[in-house]
Amino acid sequence: VTSSSRHIKFVNSNVNDYIPRVETSIPRIPHIIHQTWNDVNVPEKFADNMKSWVKLHPQWEYWFWTQDDAQLLVEKFYPKYVELFRKNKITWVRADIMRYFIMHKFGGVYADVDAEALRPLDNWTMDNDCVLSENNYVHSYLLPYDRDEAEVMITIIAGRPGHPYFEMFMKMFPLLHHKTWPEKVLFCNTVYEEYLKTDESRQPGNVVTVAHPNFFLPTYDKAWVDIVDRKCYRNATQLA
């Protein structure tokens, strides 16, 4: 844990031993699952993953968003960001951006369509105001930029509506247009680090809980297996 993380609430990395504490029957985080895609034509390969969220959260609402839906949301509730939203033509960048506007306005749990739900998240919503996860350490340290510390990921995000972490992303959003490609990839981590510097992050109701990757991303993307093998072999050779 770095010094910049002193205002973050970390959870035990032992998945079998840790169960978030439930102090109230009213969730702090709304029971809404959000998922997004460019349009309604989602590839069939993601169908089972998407269904897993509905199956494990039968009492939750499920909201599916296209990029056109997200643009309408921005136009209606965040008009000063409309032109910047339109200027970002890179599909995955727009996908990253839209989840923050959705989460700020409605709250709930956002999950990428390639993420599979393995357990219900009800308990996480009761005692937390915002939940992020560290990225799988293989991704943080080896893929793709050889970072020297762990990073947060945005594959799964949970939070209450109006959480200031989401608001900070929106305020920093104009900077994204001028970032280099690697900076765009790691922009969510930049926002997270800036949020920790604010007095607001210390206030009750504004805490960000950062979970160990064992909870939300226990394995790395196998599409990178060849690169991982080469880097591990290279590092082992250097240490020999």
One-letter amino acid identity for 49? N
Report pLDDT for 10: 36
pLDDT in tens, 172-223: 887 766 666 556 567 778 888 899 999 999 899 999 998 888 888 777 666 6
pLDDT in tens, 43-69: 999 999 999 999 999 999 999 999 899
How much is the pTM? Answer: 0.79
